[in-house]
Amino acid sequence: MPITPDKAKVRIVRWPLETAKREKCRELGALRILLVENGATPPLTADLREDWVRAPVSKEDLAARVTGLRAKARTYRVPTLDVDGKLSFDGGSVVLSRSEVAIVAVLVRNYGSLVAREMLAHLPGATRANSRNALDLHMMRIRRRIAPLGLGVSTAWGRGYLLQEMTQGVEGQDTQARADGQA
């Protein structure tokens, strides 16, 4: 089975028989569960993308481990913004304009937290963002630009903005994750 960089898929790796497969998964950043066989000692790891279970394991126990591993790994996913204005998240990336970079840099530094509107409106690099309408226009463009990465910006009316991961809605539409009723 070829290993692809599909980060949502959890690989089952027989330990210690498939040590090379484990290393390949680690290089790709893939989620993996080691199936520890024949009384072998599981390896010590601090990698949030890896867990282990002893064989034999029931389907229910394995499904619970997979769910737990995905939740644990998702908690530590944070977007990054490089000096060239490339915003990366979950294996994808987009290039932002200079004025978008000024705004998004503050949102990334405060990922998952509310950023005051006034803080974004008076950024030196955000050209013409000091008027209310100009900032709203920038935010609309940023939302469109970052949506393919699975990121979104929620508005806390009259207070500010919140950069966060999008979640899949009930009918398959992307909806913003809500944080403390702020958006």
Same domain, 85 and 162: yes
Same domain, 165 and 98: yes
CATH of the domain at 132: 1.10.10.10
In the chain, the number of structural domains is 2
Mean pLDDT of the 31-45 span: 92
Residue 177 has pLDDT above 70, yes or no: no
Whether 134 maps to a domain, the answer reads: yes
Same domain, 52 and 100: no
Mean pLDDT of the 38-62 span: 92
Whether 1 maps to a domain, the answer reads: no
Average pLDDT of every residue of the chain: 83
What is the domain range of residue 14? 10-75
Whether 172 maps to a domain, the answer reads: yes
- What are the φ and ψ backbone dihedral angles of 157, each rounded to 5 degrees? -50, 125
Kind and range of the H or E element at 73?
helix 59-75
Same domain, 95 and 140: yes
pLDDT of residue 106: 94
Same domain, 86 and 167: yes
**pLDDT class for 176, splitting at 50, 70, 90?**
very low
pLDDT tens, position by position, 99-158: 899 999 999 999 889 999 988 888 876 555 456 788 889 999 999 999 999 999 999 988
| Domain end call among 48, 75, 102 | 75
Q: Which of 27, 1, 33 is nearest to 14 (CA)?
A: 33
Kind and range of the H or E element at 121?
helix 117-121
Six-digit token string for 15: 């330990």
